[in-house]
Amino acid sequence: MATMTINGNSVRGQSTYDVINPATGNVQAQAPDCSAEQLNEALEAAEAAGKSWRTNEDERRKAMLRLADAVAAAREDLKTALIAETGKPTSLAATEPDICVAWLQVFAGMEFPRRVLQDDSNALIEVAHRPIGVVGAITPWNFPLGLAMWKIAPALLAGNTVVVKPSPFTPMATLLLGEIMGEVLPPGVVNVVSGGDDLGRALVAHRLPRKITFTGSVSGGKSVAATAGADLKRLTLELGGNDAAIVLPDADLASVVPKILDTAFFNTGQACALPKRVYVPDSLYVEAVEAFGAGAAGIAVGDPTDANTQMGPLSTRPQFERVKGLAEDAVARGARVVTGGSAISGPGYYFQPTILADITEGVAVVDEEQFGPVLPILRYSRIDDAVERANRTMYGLCGSVWGADEDTARDIAGHLECGTTFVNTHAALLPTVPFGGAKWSGVGVENGVDGLVAFTEPQVVHTARD
Ligand code: NAD
């Protein structure tokens, strides 16, 4: 029976709920449903643990490295839990424990910025970075472990304590991570609870967390912001994206198309920062559509535990229904199916890798975040028009420009309204590089020194000198 980790103890829920394996559609586990009292216990434990955790930075760094070793040792179990709850292919599932290890190691060695604003005979004025206190960390189902660690590692280094709430669709790997953290870290430093959206709402509304770090949908983020705002809690929001990839007329399709496909169908298209609509110039359109179609048709879809599988099922039934609905709607509105277009019959939430052509804005699969393996290829005549159309959205996570002339591509990328612009790549994310969204794609950044500072309160230390 899976348990939560509260104050270093393994705690059963007062009730449980079903966790589904998306590769079969069958119930594969029971997850604890955290009660209001248990949430309160977790937050009070975090508050109590913070009193000593915040005092010794060196000890924190050492504890993070010990935790990295413990996560590495549990890699296989974490991977197995992830495959069963997300449907990720084995090789991809294995990267998440590795991400946890890398993030812990990088943050364990990261320095806080030290800013001395004045140092003269009148005064020494410095800006220090203090812990915020208890952090509530809420995560989605697409990268349960990786995205949790994006929050936990910097929060810990900054001297905060944490209560983590994973998605109700994918709690199992995070609960296991909670057990590992409970064994390595002092009791209460990181607590993991599980439950539905209401538990997330209760965590945000509770008086104890002074910062909420949330990754999820735009609608969830707006709700979190409203509740957190009423209590002036600090906030980081990593929300959805509808990234445009713009192919320039000088692009070499033979090299560019496979790279765009690799990222667009990564994790069955279920990641925030992937190409979700591709803009191709008139001069290359016919050839590019053919190449995208041939490439997508060659992707091996199947059982995530089969070593040959490149793409697994959608991770949840609602997401499967949504992707299916978006593809059907696009076809009804005149889009041409180049390859795929349908669900795969049989058990599990499988959908064919799909390329849609002869499609433009005004169709939901272009205007909204599809978060699945359905990629629309749009045509443009003028590059300024492509950029304007790429920007005509409230999303602003990432964008990419693909072309032979790097300077031209970089110049065009600079006109995209988003948190990260890539040239000749997409979705390359690193622990040392800040990541965040413009417009409705987020508030603040994660990762890098900027992401670390976001887990601190600035404190000016002003020493007068005569
Ligand atoms: P979601 O918003 O439905 O849920 C995310 C988490 O928030 C879950 O744990 C859920 O239980 C909780 N939650 C939902 N409503 C809440 C509320 N009102 N208050 C507090 N907690 C609440 O999102 P999802 O469907 O799990 O995830 C998919 C979305 O996440 C996509 O839009 C995707 O783009 C986005 N995402 C963004 C990033 C990023 O870094 N920008 C990364 C991954 C996923």
Pocket test for ligand 1, best of 142, 149, 198, 217 (most atoms within 8 A of CB): 217
Which residues partner with 457 through β-bridges?
130
Give dist(CA 221, CA 218) in Å, integer.
5
Contacts of 325 (CB under 8 A, 6+ apart): none
Token pair recorded at residue 20: 């589904």
Cα Rg of the chain, angstroms: 23
Q: Which fold has domain 243-423?
A: Aldehyde Dehydrogenase; Chain A, domain 2 (3.40.309)
In whole angstroms, how far apart are CA 358 and each of 243, 269, 278, 335, 353? Answer: 19, 21, 12, 5, 17
Give dist(CA 293, CA 216) in Å, integer.
30
Interval between CA 443 and ligand 1 midpoint (Å): 14
In whole angstroms, how far apart are CA 140 and each of 54, 84, 161, 240, 314? Answer: 28, 16, 20, 11, 14
**Secondary element (H or E) of residue 138:** strand 134-138
pLDDT tens for the chain, residues 1 to 466 = 799 999 999 999 999 999 999 999 999 999 999 999 999 999 999 999 999 999 999 999 999 999 999 999 999 999 999 999 999 999 999 999 999 999 999 999 999 999 999 999 999 999 999 999 999 999 999 999 999 999 999 999 999 999 999 999 999 999 999 999 999 999 999 999 999 999 999 999 999 999 999 999 999 999 999 999 999 999 999 999 999 999 999 999 999 999 999 999 999 999 999 999 999 999 999 999 999 999 999 999 999 999 999 999 999 999 999 999 999 999 999 999 999 999 999 999 999 999 999 999 999 999 999 999 999 999 999 999 999 999 999 999 999 999 999 999 999 999 999 999 999 999 999 999 999 999 999 999 999 999 999 999 999 999 999 8
Q: How many CB atoms lie within 10 A of CB 306?
A: 12
- Please name the residue that has the structure tokens 């590089």: 433
Give dist(CA 234, CA 212) in Å, integer.
6
Alpha helices in 131-171 (DSSP H): 144-157
Q: Is 213 in the pocket of ligand 1 (CB under 6 A)?
A: no
Give dist(CA 248, CA 304) in Å, integer.
35
Q: Could you tell me the pTM of the whole model?
A: 0.98
Among left, alpha and beta (phi > 0; psi -120 to 50; other), residue 425 is beta
Choices 3.40.605.10, 3.40.50.300, 1.10.10.350, 3.40.47.10: CATH for 4-240+441-464: 3.40.605.10
Token pair recorded at residue 229: 């705002």
Q: Is 168 in the pocket of ligand 1 (CB under 6 A)?
A: yes
Domain ranges of the chain: 4-240+441-464, 243-423
Give dist(CA 40, CA 346) in Å, integer.
43
Pocket test for ligand 1, best of 141, 150, 197 (most atoms within 8 A of CB): 197
Token pair recorded at residue 156: 């810990």
Nearest to 201 by CA among 174, 179, 229, 220: 220
Strands 4-6 and 9-11: antiparallel
Atom nearest to 204 CA in ligand 1: 20
Give dist(CA 216, CA 402) in Å, integer.
28
